[in-house]
Amino acid sequence: MTHDSDLALSRHVLTLADGRSLEWASCGPANGTVLLHHHITPGSAEPQTAWARGALARGLRMVTIARPGYARSTRKPARTAADVARDSEAVLDALGVGKVFVSGSSGGAPAALACGALLRERVRGVAVHGCPAPSELVDFDFIAGMSPDNAESFVVAREGEAALRAYYDAVRPTLLGACASPERMRAKKAGLLPPVDAACLTSLLAADVARGMLDGLAENADGWIDDDLSFIRPWGFDLASLAGVPVSLWHGSADTTIPIAHGQWLSRHIPGVRAHLLEGEGHLSIAQRHLDELLDELVG
């Protein structure tokens, strides 16, 4: 993950009550307050270096989970964001920890919100960025403004699992090939991103993204498929149930991965949310340029 000795990653596999395996990892002080972070799509329990360093700087223990279907986590077909929250609770129970902070990046953001809603008694606060809105509830075109590759994946997802599997089985080898080096990853991604995001795709971030994808997609595309399908089905909880839970929402107006309309809709429907809808920021640049602000507000 990183050469920082204080950020040595400890990886584990938990056997859940239903017999599934769930991979989780942690770094930082063993006695620190836990920051439970939900990874991007696609990804794994391998945390991004900037997040891990930010957590360490605040004395937090960062805990990450590979969602079902990714890496060494057993697939759970038809899973929802609520299912991921319940898996998260099992990890927290195994750790014997009480109150935690929760964060989520992009495709992991709905799961972070689910934790706030369903595990509210043990959640101190939630921070999400680049979060998609619940597709069945929105009053706008869900894919309008998305980059062509992202929009296409959602169109295919609506055709069902078989179509999406064929799509990602064709895409996965090329993506894993791009993960061979940070330079290849930057070259593949740069042309798909708005300028503000392309400028933020440093070699370190590209290496982090590539490592997470290589780990998460090593055997198959199950996790990626199930993430996409979960975005177009009900999340399994009501956003109104976040009332009283401190939630921070970060979204950029130049985001073409999950366009700003999603953040605007969520800012109107999450009770009491602290919404940061930032002009000119993109999907990557939020967490690159504003991570300290995001974490300070979360733990403050």
pLDDT digits (tens, 9 = 90+) for 246-274: 999 999 999 999 999 999 999 999 999 99
Intra-chain end-to-end CA distance of the chain, in Å: 27
- Please give the pLDDT value at position 3: 42
d(CA 146, CA 259): 6
What is the pLDDT, as a whole number, of residue 190? 75
Q: Which residue has the tokens 């769930």?
A: 22
The sign of the torsion formed by the CA atoms of 96, 42, 270, 80 equals negative
The hierarchical CATH code for the domain 5-299 is 3.40.50.1820
Half-sphere exposure of 176 (CA within 13 A, CB side): 14
The single residue listed with the structure tokens 């055709």 is: 159
The more confident residue out of 205 and 8 is: 205
pLDDT tier at 191, thresholds 50, 70, 90: confident
- The span from the CA of 17 to the CA of 56, in Å, is 31
Rounded to an integer, the average pLDDT of 209-231 is 97
pLDDT in tens, 2-31: 445 567 899 999 999 999 999 999 999 999
pLDDT digit string (tens) for 42-96? 999 999 999 999 999 999 999 999 999 999 999 999 999 999 999 999 999 999 9
Q: What is the pTM of this model?
A: 0.96
- The pLDDT value recorded for residue 2 is 41
Check whether 222 has a pLDDT greater than 50: yes
From the list 99, 104, 89, the residue with the least C-alpha distance to 121 is 99
pLDDT at position 232, please? 95
135-181 per-position pLDDT tens digit: 999 999 999 999 999 999 999 999 999 999 999 999 999 999 999 99
Inform me whether the pLDDT recorded for 1 exceeds 60. no
Q: Tokens standing for 206? A: 């590209």
Give the mean pLDDT of 267-294. Answer: 97
Are the C-beta atoms of residues 101 and 34 closer than 8 Å to each other?
yes
**Region 115-140 average pLDDT:** 97
Q: What is the DSSP string of the chain?
A: --S-GGG--EEEEEEPTTS-EEEEEEES-TTSPEEEEE--SS--S---HHHHHHHHHTTPEEEEE--TTSTTSPP-TT--HHHHHHHHHHHHHHHT--SEEEEEEGGGHHHHHHHHHHSGGGEEEEEEESPPPPTTT-SS-TTTT--HHHHHHHHHHTT-HHHHHHHHHHHHHHHHHHTTSHHHHHHHHHTTS-HHHHHH--HHHHHHHHHHHHHHTSS-SHHHHHHHHHHTS--SS-GGGGTTS-EEEEEETT-SSS-HHHHHHHHHHSTT-EEEEETT--TTHHHHHSHHHHHHHHH-
Question: Which of 269, 218, 185 minimizes the C-alpha distance to 71?
Answer: 218
Would you state the pLDDT for residue 188? 85
DSSP string, 116-130: HHHSGGGEEEEEEES
Residue 68, preceding peptide bond in cis (omega within 30° of 0): no
CA distance 233 to 172: 23
What b-and-e string marks burial along 136-158, b requiring 16 or more CB atoms within 10 Å of the CB?
eeeeeebbebbbeebbebbebbe
Q: Which residue has the tokens 């490592």?
A: 211
Tell me phi and psi for residue 128, to 5 degrees: -130, 150
Q: What is the mean pLDDT of the chain?
A: 95
